[in-house]
Amino acid sequence: MEEKIIIAGFGGQGVLSIGQFIAYAAIEDGKAVTWLPSYGPEMRGGTSNCSVVVNDDEVASPIVSCPDCLIAMNKPSLYKFVDKVKAGGTIIVNSSLITDKVERTDVNVLYIDATDLALKAGNARTANIVILGAYCKMRNMFNQELVAKVIEKKFANKPKVIPANLKALELGFNA
């Protein structure tokens, strides 16, 4: 099994960290993974994306040209990658910022109001964790307990933010 993902949005939306959480979860799950960021003269507010490849044994190419799943956090990112998604693949659309609908009919699309759900979780900055939860559920990649464990480890030195992130994860899984 190989799962190829592109996650794209504005810098500062937690785009790179969604990818890193998927990578940590993959390791926790005993899988091989690569995480490759687009690097460039980037800054908060500029565009940012990363490619993640999860494989049961070994990842060959870390370069993703036809993802199984696209996570689009803002409009330019959706239009940049929408046509590259594999037929039968998945697109997760952050509908807090993207009001357009995906015109393709050969992919599964989830529209998720990540910011609204993040506010419900108690912290607007957990929107990327909402998306992470929705991704894991929709692609049937990792169970909620495993990802929760990864989040607890990752925020071990900031225990205050753990409850909101775990709630955001739950809301994402149930979205």
Residues lying near other proteins in the complex (CB under 8 A): 20, 23-24, 27, 32-37, 39-41, 59-66
Q: Give the residue with the Cβ less far from other proteins, 41 or 159.
A: 41
Report the distance separating Cα 61 and Cα 142, nearest Å.
Answer: 22
Q: What is the dihedral of CA 19, 25, 29, 33, to 10 degrees?
A: 20
Where is 117: in which H helix or E strand? Answer: helix 114-121
Q: How far is the CB of 34 from other proteins (least distance, A)?
A: 5
Q: How far is the CB of 88 from other proteins (least distance, A)?
A: 17
Report the distance separating Cα 113 and Cα 73, nearest Å.
Answer: 10
User: Would you tell me how many other CB atoms lie within 10 Å of the CB of residue 107?
Assistant: 16
Q: Give the residue with the Cβ less far from other proteins, 65 or 174.
A: 65
Q: Give the residue with the Cβ less far from other proteins, 64 or 117.
A: 64
Q: Give the residue with the Cβ less far from other proteins, 51 or 126.
A: 51
Q: How far is the CB of 125 from other proteins (least distance, A)?
A: 22
Q: Give the residue with the Cβ less far from other proteins, 43 or 63.
A: 63
Of 132, 137, 139, nearest to 118 by C-alpha is 132
Where is 48: in which H helix or E strand? Answer: strand 47-55
Q: What are phi and psi of 37, to 5 degrees?
A: -85, 155
Q: How distant, in Å, are the alpha carbons of 70, 77, 103, 114, 115 from that of 175?
A: 17, 22, 22, 9, 13
Q: How far is the CB of 142 from other proteins (least distance, A)?
A: 15
Q: How far is the CB of 37 from other proteins (least distance, A)?
A: 6
